[in-house]
């Protein structure tokens, strides 16, 4: 039988400022739900991904990734060797990922409640997302945590720009892992194989539990108390004070 892989390309652990999920628990959840590949994409960090990779048993491949907060909005990167600092423009961030041989996707592009690259078709960041469309490898056309018409808009955007779509859980707790995921032909364990598999993606869609999502503010408070807040923006000292102030409010 042809190889078929089951991949969740957007998951968080307690290395993120808004999750309390131990990497080992996330790995166990992925195995229990039949995933073959799991991308750990913590906010601006890769330590959790490295721990998850070390904890993964045979049969589960952990992709070291990162959700990177750029000056234009969030990006997802996988196949990283080191963390990409937040705060750079999207095109510079993508270039930094490419230097490592990594791939880049656009997460929850039209979710107005997060640091999305395009917060809606009438938003000021629309130009930024259109420019990024020619530089990235996929779009999250189904994000299990997206609100309203965000996924519908993302699917339309991907179709318009000829980009593959994927489904992801965007999990912040073990219960959310693989609530949405993507099936791929072959074994996308390296960047070339995943890139080749993207056109054959099959999306399995589901919704994150609202009960689990309500734990988000609690997780942020705990992490703040632990000193694990957001990673500072890369160039705050180089930008005008008003821009730095705008960034801190995102």
Q: Please spell the DSSP secondary structure of 127-195, one letter per residue.
A: HHHHHHHTT-SEEEEEETT--TTHHHHHHHHHHHTT--EEEE--BSSGGGTTSSEEEEES---SHHHHH
What does the pLDDT average to over 183-203?
97
What b/e sequence results for 179-208 when a residue is b if at least 16 CB atoms lie within 10 Å of its CB, and e otherwise?
bbbbbbbeebbebeebeebbeebebeeeeb
Q: How far apart are the first and last CA of the chain?
A: 48
In this prediction, residue 119 has a pLDDT band, given cuts at 50, 70 and 90, of low
What does the pLDDT average to over 122-129?
56
How far, in Å, are 23, 67, 164, 185, 244 from residue 40 at the CA level?
A: 9, 9, 20, 21, 28
Average pLDDT in the chain? 89
Look up the pTM and report it: 0.89
Least confident interval from 127-136, 140-149, 153-162: 127-136
Two tokens, residue 181:
């995921």
Contact 40, 63 (CB under 8 A): yes
Tell whether the model's pLDDT for residue 127 goes beyond 80: no
DSSP state of 79: S
Q: What is the CATH number of domain 4-248?
A: 3.20.20.140
Contact 4, 184 (CB under 8 A): yes
Domain locations along the chain: 4-248
% of the chain with per-residue pLDDT over 90 = 78
What does the pLDDT average to over 82-105?
96
């Amino acid at each position: 039988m042809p190889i078929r892989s089951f991949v969740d390309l957007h998951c968080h652990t307690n290395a993120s400022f808004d999750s309390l999920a131990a990497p080992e628990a996330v790995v166990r959840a992925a195995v229990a739900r039949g995933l073959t590949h799991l991308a750990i994409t913590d906010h601006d960090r890769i330590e959790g991904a490295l721990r998850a990779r070390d904890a993964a048993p045979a049969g589960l491949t952990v992709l070291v990734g990162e959700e990177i907060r750029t000056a234009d909005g969030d990006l997802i990167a996988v196949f990283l060797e080191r963390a990409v600092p937040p705060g750079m423009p999207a095109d510079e961030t993508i270039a930094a990922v490419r230097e490592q041989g990594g791939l880049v996707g656009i997460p929850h592009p039209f979710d107005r409640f997060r640091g999305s690259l395009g917060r809606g078709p009438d938003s000021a960041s629309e130009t930024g997302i259109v420019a990024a469309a020619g530089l990235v490898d996929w779009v999250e056309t189904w994000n299990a945590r997206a609100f309203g018409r965000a996924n519908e808009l993302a699917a339309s955007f991907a179709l318009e720009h000829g980009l593959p779509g994927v489904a992801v859980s965007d999990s912040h707790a073990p219960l959310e892992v693989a609530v949405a995921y993507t099936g791929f032909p072959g074994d996308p364990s390296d960047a070339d194989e995943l890139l080749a598999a993207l056109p054959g993606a099959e999306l399995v869609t589901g919704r994150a539990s609202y009960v689990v999502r309500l734990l988000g503010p609690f997780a942020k408070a705990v992490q703040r108390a632990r000193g694990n807040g957001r990673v500072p923006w890369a160039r705050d000292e180089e930008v005008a004070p008003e821009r730095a102030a705008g960034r801190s409010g995102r």
